[in-house]
Structure 1
Amino acid sequence: MSNSSSLIIQDISECFEFRNELLKAISFIPFGICSTISNTILIIAILRNTHLRYRHEMQIVCALSVADFVEAFATVCGGVYRILIILLNLKDQKFHLLQCMLLPHSWLWRWSDFATSFMLLTTTCDRILSVIFPLKYMRWRSTYSYIAIGLPYALSALLSMFAWHRSVTKYAEISMLCTNVYISPIFYMFSKYLTAASSVLSVILYIPTIFIVKIQRKQMSHILTNSQIARQHRAQVRMTMTLAISCFATFFLDALPRAMGIYGILDENSTEAGKQCEGVMQVLFHLTKLNSIINLFLHYHRNPALRESVLNVVRMFYIGKFLIWNLQSSF
């Protein structure tokens, strides 16, 4: 490698404090585990119910939960990895930038960061279409869901590829702890602000959607028919209002933490000689996990069919746990 492609990075010993770094690493675990469990339950509950898994809006909710699950699982892996490195006193061992990027939680984070925010925007767009074109929406085939889910997933994969640029083109050795210093500050700023903007836009676009729903609810109150189309329309309206509540939580637990977190990080580390220790503002990104956890309880409370499916999943878990316990006790 030529010197022009080398990179100056501050040694981790200049900023590392054992207690602070260990606490920051430990904070990954509870948020990640709770979000992983919540999204697993929601995904299984939707997929195992025939009525739910063929509905467009539930397919999109499931796709959002998959992205949230990947991010939560990566958070758990990243937390466990960093805890082990700190406790085994391996922080002074060196990794190349590319080696850090190749860690599973590194590239899973890059994709899921985009995917979660883009799927939030997709969910809002789906609700807009459902209230503006209710009859057409109910007749759309599965191609609609493939496009609505495949486009943000593919775009997320494409954008996440740019995260590899610095690790491939620049030469440097950093601590095995592999904090975000191996990612270009420009890309990191771009990704966080883009995802924050996407989350904010999903909230802003939902405001006119709520007004349209209120008008439709007034019109529906004068309709006494109980036809299948009328029932489906009422279900769509209820789903739209459910996701409106979720959208409110998204603003405070997703959009704001993303924007404030990256602003604080870049303010702490604005020099080219990057710091290997992440600031406390990094903890704000954990709030996005709370948003996905709230989604489970929100859908559970407002969707009777999903509530029953979730209860069945929980029962399956306890039955499986009981059978395993019996098998262990028999030996």
Structure 2
Amino acid sequence: MILSMLYKSTPEDVRFIMIDPKMLELSIYEGIPHLLSEVVTDMKDASNALRWCVGEMERRYKLMSALGVRNLKGFNDKLKMAAEAGHPIHDPLWQPGDSMDAEPPLLEKLPYIVVVVDEFADLIMVVGKKVEELIARIAQKARAAGIHLILATQRPSVDVITGLIKANIPTRVAFTVSTKTDSRTILDQGGAESLLGMGDMLYLPPGSSHTIRVHGAFASDDDVHAVVNDWKARGKPQYIEAITQAEQSADSLLPGEKPEGDEDVDPLFDQVVEHVTETRRGSVSGVQRRFKIGYNRAARIVEQLEAQGIVSAPGHNGNREVLAPPPIKDV
């Protein structure tokens, strides 16, 4: 499946986040320009990557809402038509003071993001229920934002493939399993225990209770290496460091969850206070651009400012009022 997408799509169309607890299956794709981060092998980093996806999903929804479109295809089509008409679209979420620019930056095409998790049973066992809830939240809402999940496991037990995950993963594929119980865990019906192996599979399409028996193509290591090496020769990956960093924002937190280490003040906190009180602008994007940090970290700092009473809660239009007085200048 991954190889098929690499054949058809450029890095401008599709980007990947690959999580590989076994450090074997997906490490072969390390270095391709489609990757948003290095192949994730540490389970804590994997949890952070899923949390970043939730934050990115919310950001994309705000952009699509501002442009009046329903999905990522509509968003990209609208940008393309506007550019061809000679009227490119500026960032509608930008506010004066967000950067040194006199006008908002132009919006750019957003790629689809595919999150591939190999053996997510390890992820569930190591990190716990939080990962299950993050996966469910992404599966519930992220499709319209162009973010998709591929989950794989060799242990189809009910403590791994839980009811919450099954309810939010409509498309399922089962290869050969040992028992009818395992087949029911994956497909809600038997049949996978009778498959022949070697790519023989049952496919359950979304919205249907009838499985389709298909045969998957076999791709050798040499085939994969040939495609990977060709893409490596075409360009280098541009990683986003914030993906695996332990940064949490209000958008990426689960209901009722508080940021980890909420009592810890960010090292940039004092500098941000000075900047915000001087410019009288308390937006997340302004802090992000001024201090060249990730969205999640900037959002967390602004939330700390709100907790300290320096800025107000966001109003109905999303703007925050700076409550603290300007800094006193030395005479």
TM-score of the pair, normalised by structure 2: 0.25
Say which structure, 1 or 2, has more relative contact order (CA 8 Å, 6+ apart): 1
TM-score of the pair, normalised by structure 1: 0.25
More strand by share: 2
More helix by share: 1
